[in-house]
Chains A and B, each alone.
Chain A
Amino acid sequence: MKQGTIRQILLLTDGCSNNGEDPSAMAVLAREQGITVNVIGIIDEDASNQRGLHEIDQIALSGGGISQTVYATQLSHTVQMVTRQAMTQTLQGVVNEQLKKILHKETDLEALPPDTRGEVMEVVDELGETANLEVLILVDTSASMASKLPTVKEALLDLSLSLNARMGSNLFSLSIFPGKRKETEQLIDWTPTLESLPAVFSKLSPGGLTPTGPAIREAISKFKGKRHKKGWLPTDDEYIEKSV
C-alpha cells in the first residue's frame, strides 16, 4: 500500500510583502490542495514591526500551518520544531477526520479520555516518523534579509539533519524571492538532502521587492504529482470502506 506524503511550504521572511497577491489568499490556495504553509518570521533584536508580525500569523493561519517569530539566534531550533509540530498537527488532523467519519460527530483528540488519547498519539507519532515529507523552502532574499542569510543557511542545514534522522523519506526544494528575472527563482530542485545549500547560499545577492504572495503561488506549482483537494492521504475513503 502507498505511503502517505505530507506536503509543506516553509516560508522564512522578516517582514511585509509589498508586491503582488495577498500572501494569505495564496496560503488558502495551498491549503486547499493539501499543502500546509508554515511561516517563520525573523526579527532583529532591537526593532519590532507590528504589521510584519501580523502578516506572518495571518499567512500561517490561512495556510493551516504554524507561525513563529524569532530572533536570528534562535532560528535553528525553531525551524526544525515548527516543521515537526506542523507535521504532527497535519497527522492529528487526519486522525480527527477519521474519528469524525466513524462516529458521525465532531470528536477531537482532546475529547477522548487520556488513556485512549495516548493510544491514538502513539499512532500519530509512528506516522510522523515514517511518513514521507516534501518541504518546499521559500526564503525571502529582499535587501533587509542580507545580514540574516548566514543564520538561515545554518538553520536549514539543521532542519535537514533533523528530518533525515526520521525513518520516512524526505524531499527538499529551495526557492527564493525575489528572483533575478522573475518574482521567484528555484535554486534547488527536489532532493533528499540539502548538501548543496552552502554553495547555493554563497552565490546569493539579496535585494529587491518582497513579492510573498506570488512566491507562494509559484511554490504550489512545484509540488510533484497529483495534488489533492484536501488532506494528505491519497485514498482516504478507500480505507474507511475497506474496514467498515
Chain B
Amino acid sequence: MTNTSKNLFNVSRGTVIHGKWKKQTYLVERKIGQGATGTVYLVNGADGEAALKFSQPLSITSEINVLKAFAKVRGSSLGPSLLDADDWENGGSVYSFYVMEYIKGPTLTDFIKARGPSWIGVLLLQLLENLHALHEEGWVFGDLKPDNLIVSGPPFALRCVDVGGTTKIGRSVKEYTEFFDRGYWRAGSRKAEPSYDLFAAAMVAVNLVYPERFLRDGTGSRQLILKVKQKQELRAYAPVLVKALQGEYASAQEMREELLEALGAASHESRKPSSRPSHSVKNNGRTARRRQQKKEKQLFGLASVLGTAVLYVLYILTEVLM
C-alpha cells in the first residue's frame, strides 16, 4: 500500500519525547511492535517502564477514548491501562501519542511457537473470559488476532492490546483484519455484536495452526470448517470452533463453557456463579455518569473559552442527530 497508510513513525533509541500539554517526558528504549498505522515503543517515564504508541491523530484520539472508557470499569483489565495522552512537537511536526501500561510477554503466535499447540485450547478459554467481560461492558473488541494478544506471566494470562478496532455494541466494527473478519468470509455482518468477536476468536485458533493463513475460495464458512477438521491439533474442540464460525454462540460465556467441557475439565468449574453483575441494567447509569464527568472536565478545561466553544459544537452536532 502506498502513501496515506504508510507507517511514518521511526524514533530511535535514546530519543526523549516531551509532552506538549502535560509536560511529561519519556526516554525511548526500543520499538515493541508496528502495525498497519501505528508504532509502539517501550519507554521509560517518571513512573518507570511503559508502552508509548504513535499513530494518526484520529486513531490515537479514538483509542484514547476507548481506554478512558475502560478505566471507568472498576478493577478491570479490559485493555492496557492508560497512563498519559499528549502531543510531541518535533522538527516542525506534531505527533499525537498515548502512553499505556507495558504488557510484558510474547505475542500469542510466538508463545505457541515456543510451547506447542496444546496451549491453544487453554489460552482460548482465557481469551473468552476477557471477551465476556468486555461484552458485558457493552464493547466488542473488533480487531482480534494473535499479534494483538500477549501472554504475560507466569502465571500465564492472556491480555488484549490494540483497541483500534474496539467498538460499542450495535455499531459497525471500526477496524478489522480480513483473515479474522466474518464479513470477509461471507459468514455474517460487520455489526459489532458478541458473535463477531467469537468468530474471530475461533479464527485465532485456526491461524495458530495455519501460520501462513489462506485466502477465501468463495465457499464461505464451508471452507473454514474443512480447514478446522483437517487439523489434528484442533480435534478435541473442533465442534466448538465450528459453532463459533457459524455464529451459533450468543455469548462468550456459552462458548467458554462448551470449550471447557471439550477440553475435559470438571464441569462444575463452569457453573461457578459469575461475580460480575449483569450488564444490561447498568448501561443507562453508565452513560449518565459519563455525561456528568464530561461536564466536570469541561469546567476545569485548560482554556475555558475553548471549552465553551466545544460545548457549542457538541450541542449543535447533537441537534443534527435528533
Q: Which of A55-79 contact B (CB under 8 A)?
A: 57, 66-70, 74, 76-78
Task: State whether the Cβ of B170 lies closer than 8 Å to any Cβ in chain A.
Answer: yes
- B: number of interface residues (CB 8 Å): 51
- A116 contacts B307, C-beta separation under 8 Å: yes
A53 cross-chain contacts in B, Cβ below 8 A: 2
Give the docked Cα–Cα distance between A76 and B61 (Å): 26
- A: number of interface residues (CB 8 Å): 57
Give the docked Cα–Cα distance between A53 and B3 (Å): 11
- A119 contacts B178, C-beta separation under 8 Å: no
- B302 contacts A113, C-beta separation under 8 Å: yes
Which of B's residues lie within 8 Å of A, judged by CB?
A: 1-5, 21, 57-58, 61-62, 64-65, 68, 85-87, 94, 96, 170-173, 178, 183-184, 189-192, 294, 297-298, 301-303, 305-307, 309-310, 312-322
Task: State whether the Cβ of A126 lies closer than 8 Å to any Cβ in chain B.
Answer: yes
A67 cross-chain contacts in B, Cβ below 8 A: 3-4
Task: State whether the Cβ of A143 lies closer than 8 Å to any Cβ in chain B.
Answer: no
8 further A-B contacts with Cβ under 8 Å, apart from A68-B4, A120-B313, A239-B319, are: A57-B3, A95-B317, A98-B313, A103-B309, A113-B301, A118-B85, A120-B310, A166-B171
Task: Please encode chain A, from 97 to 112, with 1 for each CB lying within 8 Å of some chain B CB and 0 for all others.
Answer: 0110011000101101
Most B C-beta atoms less than 10 A away, residue of A81, A109, A130: A81
A166 cross-chain contacts in B, Cβ below 8 A: 171-172
- A127 contacts B65, C-beta separation under 8 Å: no
A100 to chain B, nearest CB (A): 10
Give the docked Cα–Cα distance between A76 and B58 (Å): 22
Binds B, one of A7-15, A25-33, A157-165: A157-165
- B302 contacts A162, C-beta separation under 8 Å: no
- B306 contacts A116, C-beta separation under 8 Å: yes
Give the docked Cα–Cα distance between A113 and B192 (Å): 30
- B320 contacts A102, C-beta separation under 8 Å: no
Most B C-beta atoms less than 10 A away, residue of A98, A117, A122, A244: A117
Which of A's residues lie within 8 Å of B, judged by CB?
A: 1, 3-4, 53, 57, 66-70, 74, 76-78, 81, 85, 88, 92, 95, 98-99, 102-103, 107, 109-110, 112-123, 125-127, 129-130, 158, 161-167, 233, 239-240, 242-244
- A161 contacts B316, C-beta separation under 8 Å: no
B137 to chain A, nearest CB (A): 17
- A69 contacts B3, C-beta separation under 8 Å: yes
Give the docked Cα–Cα distance between A243 and B4 (Å): 37
A68 cross-chain contacts in B, Cβ below 8 A: 1-5
Give the docked Cα–Cα distance between A76 and B305 (Å): 44
Give the docked Cα–Cα distance between A95 and B77 (Å): 34
- B321 contacts A162, C-beta separation under 8 Å: no
Closest to B175 in A: A81
